[in-house]
């Protein structure tokens, strides 16, 4: 089983093209294949997606342009379990998804 790092998860999310979404099971499958594992840990993947989202939103709040932060809205939808755990709610998330034409 592959155990990703927050940096690996962040890098993966940054590679998702604008207007596209990828769910956590797909991330896990792709990372397992990339790193030669049979599967990727669901717990750490979920935790690290949330860490990437929280860090990105904090950078945005501190003035970093939206184009430079990790586009976590391409992974987290309003209905995903991770969305309920975000400290900043789902308004920003939904706004960015709508801007990119991503339908939940």
**How many domains does one find in the chain?**
1
> What's the domain range around 77?
6-99
- Could you read off the pLDDT tens digit of each residue along the chain, which spans 104 residues? 999 999 999 999 999 999 999 999 999 999 999 999 999 999 999 999 999 999 999 999 999 999 999 999 999 998 888 898 999 989 999 999 999 999 86
Q: Is residue 1 part of a domain?
A: no
Measured between alpha carbons, how far is 2 from 17 in angstroms, rounded to an integer? 24
Q: Is residue 104 part of a domain?
A: no
CATH of the domain at 15: 1.10.10
Q: Is residue 44 part of a domain?
A: yes
Q: Identify which of 88, 27, 26 has the alpha carbon closest to the alpha carbon of residue 56.
A: 88
Q: Write the burial class of residue 45 (CB in 10 Å: 0-12 exposed, 13-18 middle, 19+ buried).
A: buried
């Amino acid at each position: 089983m592959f155990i990703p790092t927050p940096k690996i998860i962040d890098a993966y999310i940054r590679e998702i093209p604008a207007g596209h979404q990828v769910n956590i099971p797909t991330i896990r499958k792709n990372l397992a294949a990339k790193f030669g594992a049979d599967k990727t840990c669901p717990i750490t993947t979920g935790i690290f997606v949330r860490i990437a989202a929280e860090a990105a939103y904090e950078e945005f709040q501190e003035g970093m342009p939206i184009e430079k932060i990790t586009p976590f809205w391409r992974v987290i939808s309003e209905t995903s379990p991770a969305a309920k755990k975000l400290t900043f709610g789902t308004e920003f998330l939904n706004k960015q998804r709508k801007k990119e034409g991503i339908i939940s």
